[in-house]
Amino acid sequence: MSDVIPDDDGAEPIDTMMLPLDAWHRERGGRMVEFAGYWMPVQYEGILAEHLWTRESAGLFDVSHMGQLYIAGEGVEAALEAVLPIDLATLKPYGPRYSLLLDENGGILDDLMVTRWNTGFYLVVNGATKWDDIAHLREGLPDEVTISHLDDSALLALQGPKSFTALERVVTGKYPLSGLTFMKGGQFKIAGIDAWISRSGYTGEDGFEISIPAENAAQIADLICQQPEVKPIGLGARDSLRLEAGLPLYGHDLSPDTSPVEADLLFAINKRRRIEGGFPGAHRIMGELASGTPRKRVGLALDGRQAAREGAEVYKEDKKVGILTSGGFSPTLGHPIAMAYVDAAHAASGTILTIDIRGKRLPAGVVPMPFVPHRYHR
């Protein structure tokens, strides 16, 4: 989640909201911090141990702070295409797809997942931006299209190479769980409770995202964590896992100041939309496709043990050429890694740059992302 995990000073913000599993996390020793307006577990037994456990087995993450929306109504497909750069004609039922919410200048307001559900569309948006997203969508969509905030649902993510083995034991449905490949979803039951399950996630590992009624969240989390492959995992390891996977985080690597082209997210804009336009910011994005961008998001690998953090400046000799947006130590690789926006002239893989860390310049090489290969089940 966040590159900079907040300090726990023992005082809970008065206006911080609680997740459906708040008591569940505390009972299991979760160290709670404020994030995105919610009280969330940053760790249980330690970020390093939880990171490695997820890479080797299966970790259960509570991501109920995310916004779950259902958008439907007359003309919903055309209306949604007017606010998202996605080609909904190519979106098959129950197949989630990554997309973006853009402003009129092509800046990224949020990144999100879109799934065709029956006669409407299910969206999962970031927790820190969901209220702004809802307002933006209400403004951009016609009155005939309704937006339902599914705030009575919880969202869990089971991630890791043994996640299928664990989840298969507790899931029933018309079709077997094995029928889901990466970015496919369907309706199932867990302990007789309706669950929307998609084979997706934010760690680079095989895994599932599970939407369930909030009132049943503790029961289902208990059942999943009773499986020997599964442990509860906190916010800290989720961030280090997504960084190793080269996945950008909104508010850090993505913002209204970044475009999809410079963020290397062009895959989120379908070919037809890149040709025809008709979405917010299309003029800028089509211009960048034709002429290039002055900067690009790149991966950086550092030697030693000292990690570089968000906001550190990147140099080529004595010239500042970029700034870090995410950074940390990679438990899997055993050295620090980072993401940065750097001048396009210095973005090629193999370029050697330096990062200023408290007045000390540390060498860093531009490397391909993901840093750790994805292991999605395709």
Can you give the residue ranges of every domain in the chain? 17-64+152-244, 294-371
Q: Tell me the pTM.
A: 0.94
- pLDDT tens, N- to C-terminus, the chain (378 residues): 333 344 444 444 447 899 999 999 999 999 999 998 999 999 999 999 999 999 999 999 999 999 999 999 999 999 999 999 999 999 999 999 999 999 999 999 999 999 999 899 999 999 999 999 999 999 999 999 999 999 999 999 999 999 999 999 999 999 999 999 999 999 999 999 999 999 999 999 999 999 999 999 999 999 999 999 999 999 999 999 999 999 999 999 999 999 999 999 999 999 999 999 999 999 999 999 999 999 999 999 999 999 999 999 999 999 999 999 999 999 999 999 999 999 999 999 999 999 999 999 999 999 999 999 999 999
What does the pLDDT read at residue 332?
97
**Long-range contact list for 14-22, CB < 8 A, 24+ apart?**
19/62, 19/64, 19/65, 19/154, 20/64, 20/154, 20/214, 20/215, 20/217, 20/218, 21/62, 21/64, 21/154, 21/217, 21/218, 21/221
User: Measured between alpha carbons, how far is 200 from 328 in angstroms, rounded to an integer?
Assistant: 24
Closest CA to 364 of 346, 352, 348: 352
Laid out side by side, the sheet with 67-73 consists of 97-102, 108-117, 120-125, 67-73, 145-149
Fold exhibited by the domain 17-64+152-244: Gyrase A; domain 2 (3.30.1360)
The hierarchical CATH code for the domain 294-371 is 2.40.30.110
Same fold, 17-64+152-244 and 294-371: no
User: Measured between alpha carbons, how far is 151 from 44 in angstroms, rounded to an integer?
Assistant: 26
User: Measured between alpha carbons, how far is 233 from 212 in angstroms, rounded to an integer?
Assistant: 19
What does the pLDDT read at residue 15?
76
What does the pLDDT read at residue 241?
98
What does the pLDDT read at residue 8?
42
Tokens of 176: 């077997």
Whose tokens are 């209400």? That residue is 138
Closest CA to 315 of 304, 306, 324: 324
What phi and psi, each to the nearest 5 degrees, are found at residue 232? Answer: -70, 140
What phi and psi, each to the nearest 5 degrees, are found at residue 34? Answer: -85, 125
What does the pLDDT read at residue 269?
95
User: Measured between alpha carbons, how far is 243 from 249 in angstroms, rounded to an integer?
Assistant: 9
Q: Which residues pair with 324 in a beta bridge?
A: 340
For residue 231, CA distances in Å to 60, 170, 275 come to 6, 15, 46
What does the pLDDT read at residue 242?
98
Q: Which residues pair with 113 in a beta bridge?
A: 98, 124
What does the pLDDT read at residue 3?
35
| Helix extents (H) in the chain | 22-27, 47-56, 76-81, 130-140, 163-168, 217-225, 235-244, 271-276, 282-291
User: Measured between alpha carbons, how far is 355 from 359 in angstroms, rounded to an integer?
Assistant: 9
Contact call for residues 364 and 354 (beta carbons, < 8 A): yes
* Packing angle, helices 235-244 and 47-56, rounded to 10: 60
User: Measured between alpha carbons, how far is 228 from 207 in angstroms, rounded to an integer?
Assistant: 16
Count CB-CB contacts under 10 A for residue 117.
17
What phi and psi, each to the nearest 5 degrees, are found at residue 330? Answer: -90, 110
Q: What is the helix (H) or strand (E) element at residue 327, kind and residue range?
A: strand 319-330
Q: Residue 47: CB partners within 8 Å, gap ≥ 6?
A: 234, 236, 237, 240
